[in-house]
Structure 1
Amino acid sequence: MTFFRSRLAAGWLVAAGAALSSPASMAQDLELTITAPAGAGGGWDAAARSLQQVMMETGNARSVQVINVPGAGGTVGLAQFVQGAEGSPNQLLVGGITLVGAILTNKAPYDLTAVTPLARLTGDPLVIVVPKASPYQTMADLMEGIKGDVEHTIWAGGSAGGADHMLSALVTQAAGQDPAKVNYVAYSGGGEALAAMLGGQVTAGVSGYGEWQGQIESGDLRALAISYPEPIEGIAAQPLKAQGIDIELVNWRGIFAGPGISDADKAALEAAIAKTVESPEWQDLLKARGWSNYYAPSDEFAAFLAAETERVRAILTSIGLVE
């Protein structure tokens, strides 16, 4: 009887120890630093600080700090992260489709195979807009304009080779023109691109919907289409696909750990991220920022990354930015 009780007690202690060291319990002890490989105020910074906010609110991490490392479309921050986060369970990196493009165009020393994908988080719908005085009332009108005079169809957007640039090239190609001829002006920020739009200096612009939502709602900009695959509640502009244009491009953002982390550390981080994105607080934040829930767990995200990298390579090659 004593032996049985001893075995039972020992079994309970082993089970309790396993529970205490489970990924869910380990997540509550996380002290994290998230690198946003861009300046403050941009999309990656917003994603990093949003994750910081909700992980702290939900108790899925004990502490979270965000640091900004701008430069070369995110590749400076990526290189610094790869070199400093080897095997670390406490360091994360935010990145997205524009980082994939920057890696290719800059021939960066590191790509996203050098880090550990944890989760795809959000999908920011890109919107194609024209100034309110534009003669183009519909997406079909803009396509006809591109077809008739591609060189004088001037696009405004973010960094060269980024998601905005890619979408303008895909639309140009869909209009029957060479995407390498797209007349794209890269602005350093959404404010500069907006000024060009409102000043009538460009024909059309591309950005995340949330960045120009105020001007769309005021009528200063006319939204012709979004690049998301499906209609989005609260956005009147319809997807390109719904308008007969076979283009889908999501400005996604994901979260990565450093290279060489242990299976236990990866499991703890995955559990913390999963609990965070399932929380009501995260859902409320997505709605407030106009982001779509684009969550995918690590294995699915890794497969997506491989396919997305080849897709981005093909688009940038068609533009002439990648050989």
Structure 2
Amino acid sequence: MRRRLFFAWGLGVAACAAGCGAERVTRSAAGLRAGYSITAAERRWTHVGEAFAGAAREAGYETGAGTAITVTGLGALASAELNNGQSLPDTATPLSRLAGDVEVVVVPADSRFRDFDAFGAHLRAEPGQTPLAGGPEGEPDHLLFGLIARGLGADTRQVDYTGYPTSQEAVVALLSGKAAAAAGLLADWRESINTGKVKVLAVSSAARVPELDAPTLLESGVRVDFTDWAAAVGPENMSDESRERAVRMCDEVTGSPQWAAACRAAGWLSIPLSGDDFGRWIGSEVERTRAVLRDLGLIASTKATTCWGSCGNGH
């Protein structure tokens, strides 16, 4: 590995950052509604948090006061694992998955890799000779390449990945020849795609992105469905009654036309999943993330205790 950049968000602190005060009940045009203080754990989730709060207000909920709801996501979950911290289900109450950003695998326009098959064959045969770039080590871009390498049957510990603090630096690294391929949010690479500087080999989502002439990883033979997701969580010691009310609010908001419009405008995938189903999903996501970080050599093998999803390596 070329370098490691670890960032800790402190999931437990973030989940109660807005305070865990008692719920307030207010009357609005929609009737009797609970109040919620909706905040983002970090800047990266600010826009999602604002859109979620806006859709909640449209649904008649008071926002800015009441039960604390924190918008967090995959990056924080991975950071906790990297820093041997408690994972999200241990430090907060999972409520609902909200939205996800599609990631893309890109190469320079004049790359020798004309399609994903060519790139995948090289990565599988020579992972240490296929320099890759993206965001900081251990964060979603790196996780995606780890999942791709695993799906291809490559030696994941040999993956040559350099993490950059910003997407702009990753773009420069790819276009200057420091990397053969890069991964990142579609939104961060859109300008380079539109100007023809890079081409997209594959998208990480299960379905194709309409405006891109690029296959999904699933279509390319890699069993990976991946988004850089954001979710709503409550305080760690949330009562069952408060949790049930908050889950109902999340269901109403993420099923609303206002939320759908906000996701379309921002280019997010609306991927709602709430309550017990979300709790089970987040548990599997913890295990998936932990397994990939272990395979990449970023955490000790003893960190993972159970296998995830379609793991075929006998872990």
> What TM-score results when the alignment is normalised by the length of structure 1?
0.77
Listed as ranges, the matches of 1:111-126 within 5 Å are 111-126=88-103
Residue type at the aligned position of 1:49 = E
Residue matched to 1:154: 131
> How far is the alpha carbon of 1:183 from its aligned partner?
1.0
Equivalent residue in structure 1 for 2:142, among 134, 140, 165:
165
Q: Is 1:197 equivalent to 2:157 in the alignment?
A: no
Identity %: 24
Residue matched to 1:47: 48
Question: Contact conserved, 1:116 with 1:256, CA < 8 A, in 2?
Answer: yes
Residue type at the aligned position of 1:30 = G
SS at match of 1:156: strand
Question: Where does the alignment leave 5 or more consecutive residues of structure 2 unmatched?
Answer: 1-24, 301-315
Larger proportion of helix: 1
SS at match of 2:64: strand
> How far is the alpha carbon of 1:20 from its aligned partner?
9.0
> How far is the alpha carbon of 1:214 from its aligned partner?
2.5
Give, in whole Å, the separation in 2 of the partners of 1:280 and 1:114.
32
Residue matched to 2:257: 280
Residue matched to 2:63: 63
> How far is the alpha carbon of 1:117 from its aligned partner?
0.9
Residue matched to 2:165: 188
Q: Is 1:224 equivalent to 2:201 in the alignment?
A: yes
Residues 271, 182 of structure 1: alpha-carbon distance in 2 compared, 3 angstrom cutoff: same
Name the Cα RMSD after superposition.
Answer: 2.3
Equivalent residue in structure 2 for 1:30, among 28, 35, 38:
35
Q: Which moved more, 1:175-184 or 1:109-118?
A: 109-118
Residue matched to 2:12: none
Question: Contact conserved, 1:60 with 1:275, CA < 8 A, in 2?
Answer: no
Give, in whole Å, the separation in 2 of the partners of 1:248 and 1:264.
33
Question: Contact conserved, 2:98 with 2:231, CA < 8 A, in 1?
Answer: yes
Give, in whole Å, the separation in 2 of the partners of 1:306 and 1:239.
25
Listed as ranges, the matches of 1:1-323 within 5 Å are 25-27=31-33, 29-36=34-41, 38=42, 40=43, 42=44, 44-56=45-57, 58-64=58-64, 89-109=66-86, 111-323=88-300
SS at match of 1:30: strand
> How far is the alpha carbon of 1:109 from its aligned partner?
4.3
> How far is the alpha carbon of 1:25 from its aligned partner?
4.5
SS at match of 2:143: helix
Give, in whole Å, the separation in 1 of the partners of 2:81 and 2:240.
29
Residue type at the aligned position of 1:299 = D
Question: Contact conserved, 1:174 with 1:245, CA < 8 A, in 2?
Answer: yes
Question: Contact conserved, 2:87 with 2:286, CA < 8 A, in 1?
Answer: no
Question: Contact conserved, 1:120 with 1:298, CA < 8 A, in 2?
Answer: no
Give, in whole Å, the separation in 2 of the partners of 1:196 and 1:129.
12
Residues 267, 246 of structure 1: alpha-carbon distance in 2 compared, 3 angstrom cutoff: closer
SS at match of 1:151: helix
Residues 112, 189 of structure 1: alpha-carbon distance in 2 compared, 3 angstrom cutoff: farther
> What TM-score results when the alignment is normalised by the length of structure 2?
0.79
Residue matched to 2:311: none
Give, in whole Å, the separation in 2 of the partners of 1:280 and 1:61.
15
Give, in whole Å, the separation in 1 of the partners of 2:155 and 2:122.
14
